[in-house]
Structure 1
Amino acid sequence: MTAAEQVLIDKIKQLPPQRMAEVEDFVDFLRAREDEHRLTHAAAKASKASFAQVWDNNEDAAYDRM
């Protein structure tokens, strides 16, 4: 465990139980948001090859240069 992690744990331990529940909810929110970000990134990466023919064409090249 890093020093930063230990400091965070110590701070959390000093909170009243109600606040600990709020911290847990916030951590769950952050994890869910990170999962959504990873999923969005993976979907974009997976679809890149599928859309390559649509996106990479001479007609759209003028827009790409803007």
Structure 2
Amino acid sequence: MATDPNHFRALMEKLNKLPPERVAEVEDFVDYLRLKDQDHALAMTAAKVSEPSFAKVWDNPDDAAYDAL
């Protein structure tokens, strides 16, 4: 992801004004956000990979009524 250099610079200036313990909190939060994105991507990939297996189970006349929902 490309970041605007001015935005990056402004963010760095703000970080430089924080005490070390707050910088550590910001770093932890950034790590949390990245992990959350990775978890979401993993869940989406797992759902996509499992679709063919579930299609065999879901593709039947009894469940046809749910297709319109």
Q: Which TM class, normalised by the smaller chain length?
A: 0.7 to 0.9
Normalization by structure 1: what TM-score?
Answer: 0.85
Select the structure with the greater relative contact order (CA < 8 A; seq sep ≥ 6). Answer: 1
Give 5+ residue unaligned stretches, structure 1.
Answer: none
Structure 2 residue corresponding to 1:49, chosen from 36, 48, 52: 52
Identity %: 52
Over aligned residue pairs, what C-alpha RMSD do you find?
A: 1.4
How many residue pairs are counted as aligned between the two chains? 66
TM-score for the superposition, normalised by structure 2 = 0.82
Which runs of no fewer than 5 residues in structure 2 stay unpaired? none
Cα gap change, 1:60/1:27 in structure 2, threshold over 3 Å: closer, same or farther? Answer: same
